[in-house]
A and B are shown apart, each in its own frame.
Chain A
Amino acid sequence: MQSKPGFLFYAVPGQRKSMIAAAEELDRRGFPFIYCNHGSARVLPAGAEAEESGVVRTYIGTAVTDGLSHCLAIAMRTKQIRVGTGIEVTYTRHPVEMLGVANYINEVSDGRFILGIGPGHNEILTQWGYPIEKPLSHMRRYTEDLRQVATGQSIPPVVFSVLRSKMLRLAGEVADGAIWANAVLSYLPTALQQVPAEKRDSFIVANLAPCYVSDDRSEALEAVRVALTNYLTLTNYQRYFTEAGYGDEVERAKAAIAVNDHAGIAAAVTERMADDICLYGSAGEVREKFQAFQAAGVNQMCVSTLFHSEDQAKAILRVAAAFD
């Protein structure tokens, strides 16, 4: 079991050097993982209000920041911490290009790299003009192409971004692990039955959970509710949360989305749902939930730090202090 969590990093323009410095510090302090997001510099309309209010800034949107470059830069400056993409979108890179970068990072990191890939979100990709394929057949083909072009080259562990059972089953078949963003704790044991028994010992089960440390639990609850707002606007998350037992919350969120009521989307997140997905509250409460996710089968537990009006590195190191 991990005694310390991994962290999700965003290569936000203007903060890239400070994030690499934060990675060096996490490495020195013995934190186990950093997953770098293929995030965006601009938020979707659903998140815009939250950003303007200065409560929480999240990054889901139309302009990407490069997670793979961020991984490489961190790998070059660290010694022990494992570095992965959490996740890299398949549609923006041809498999040969993905392999070239992944192979490079794997070598210079002495095997510390994990390639997290996923098909991304339809809502975003269609804004870029992509013809979107069906996710399962797309990921199967992409991974086959990736392994095919890797002839003669080493390839790092490949983990799939997953939400629902079918993608997890596919990951169990063709990948080395699975990574959730916002996994539902109570649903994990059921979900993980999709992983073949013979693979379970070595299979990477990673989760990136929203995290907000504050002794004021109601402030923290509000912060994680807003963080979940963006995800509730995405169809694949609506389906996942419904499958995991939060259909009522999703229906209330959909009703709020229909009338462009951003506050209503956040309000649709019940405390039970927030408790089941997020790490929030006092340092002790956050540590307790961190252990609970591991007990449910997550072997690479990472936190996605929500930040007030402070920079990302500072927010991450503040959360890290809860685990020192």
Chain B
Amino acid sequence: MRDDSCVTTSDAEKPGFILSAPPGQRRAIVELARELEQRDFPHVLCPHEYARPHDIPAPYDCLSLCTAVIQATERIRVASGVAVTYTRHPTDMAAAASFNHELSEGRFFLGLGSGYKSVLERYGITVERPIPHMRRYIREMREAAVEQPLPPVLFAALRGKMAALGWELADGIIGGNWALSHVPQTLAGIPESKREGFIVGNVAPLYLCDDRAEGLAFMRRLCAAFARIPTYASYFAEAGYGDEIAGAQVAFEAGDSRAAAASISERMAEDVGIFGSPTEIQERVAEWRAAGVNWITLSTLYPSKDRVGAVREAAAVFD
């Protein structure tokens, strides 16, 4: 069943990184993965990204990026973070996952999630309730994997119910933009005594800066944007940030994005984002680990810098 080698000592030393590959940068991103491997980073996570958040119909495929990175590397673990279930039939997902599993010789992890309802509905896709959908999908995918071994599966999870389902059916869970203070509640359905070998991941937004106020402003803008995504709005309300989200929603309704960012408290920005000096970032990553997150992945979201440069700069914090 669960393989203890899924979580290794290197995870306790360095974080992983999000690698996304928009058109025109795909070979460069693969080279970056090779560089991270040489620098002993434990994993990279490839997201199913959209060209403009939730606003354009053509996504950048994460499983292809995983395949390309696997082909170019030898040791680093590679995960989809996450592949959206609705756009591939389970037979197709099984085939692609099995392909990556075989090529990587066990370094690939299939991160799976049901995506955002608001985006999927723009594609004309009828969206089911997440828990029964994921339960059915994983069953069908495993049934379809005839003669094809599958990699470990990680469920995208924000709230406790999906985390518990991941515990029941998968090899780990992976969150995105969790609130650190809310991690115990998210993991409440997973017996602490049995977590060894079970992957608990979170993708945390990172902003490296000497001026803490600059980082705080960035995280406020980022957190405010979650108010527009119903799944996140519900999560943050559950995590104790209902006032912030409600304030941002009202501000967005009025077309005032500056006020929306101002609605986000410093407490919330600090609870979700990792920002500040290299030392502050290292300390914060250690706090996430102490909270039980054994696969910490950093997302560099510098809007004005190139993606390769941003990851390199952030990685240097941990060299």
Residues of A participating in the B interface, judged by any CB pair closer than 8 Å? 11, 13-14, 16-17, 20, 41-42, 62-66, 68-70, 72-73, 76-77, 91-94, 96-97, 99-101, 103-105, 107-108, 128, 148-154
Contacts and interface: CB of A to CB of B under 8 A. Distances in A.
Task: State which size class the interface on B falls in.
Answer: 35 or more
Nearest to B71: A76
A77 B68 CA distance: 10
B116 interface: no
A13 B57 contact: no
A20 B70 CA distance: 13
21 contacts: A11-B95, A13-B148, A42-B147, A65-B99, A66-B92, A69-B67, A72-B71, A73-B103, A76-B67, A94-B86, A94-B87, A96-B59, A100-B61, A101-B61, A101-B63, A104-B61, A104-B65, A107-B24, A149-B57, A151-B56, A154-B23
B91 A64 contact: yes
B58 A150 contact: yes
B4 interface: no
A100 B58 contact: yes
B103 A16 contact: yes
Given A63-B146, A93-B89, A13 B23 contact: no
Most-contacted residue by chain B among A68, A99, A104, A107 (CB, 10 A)? A104
| Cβ-closest 10 pairs across A and B | A100-B61, A63-B146, A66-B95, A97-B87, A92-B92, A94-B87, A92-B89, A104-B64, A69-B99, A41-B147
Contacts of B68: 72, 76, 104, 108
B209 interface: no
Contacts of B125: 94
A51 B281 CA distance: 59
A100 B102 contact: no
B250 interface: no
B21 A104 contact: yes
A63 B94 CA distance: 9
A56 B21 CA distance: 41
Contact of A62 (B24, B30, B92, B146): B146
Contacts, number: 134
A94 B71 contact: no
Interface in B64-108: 64-65, 67-68, 71-72, 84, 86-89, 91-92, 94-96, 98-100, 102-103
A108 B30 CA distance: 10
A66 B96 contact: yes
Given A76-B71, A96-B59, 16 more contacts: A41-B147, A42-B146, A63-B145, A66-B95, A69-B96, A72-B67, A91-B89, A92-B88, A92-B92, A96-B57, A97-B87, A99-B58, A101-B63, A107-B24, A107-B27, A151-B58
A93 B86 CA distance: 9
A17 B89 contact: no
A26 to B, nearest CB: 17
Interface string B282-310: 00000000000000000000000000000
A129 B146 CA distance: 17
A96 B83 CA distance: 13
Contact of A101 (B64, B89, B98, B144): B64
Nearest to B143: A63
B104 to A, nearest CB: 10
A14 B26 contact: no
B60 interface: yes
A97 B59 contact: yes
Contact of A103 (B23, B87, B88): B23
B311 to A, nearest CB: 19
A307 to B, nearest CB: 17
Given A13-B147, A41-B147, A63-B146, A100 B60 contact: yes
A85 to B, nearest CB: 12
Contacts of A65: 95, 98-99, 148
B307 to A, nearest CB: 15
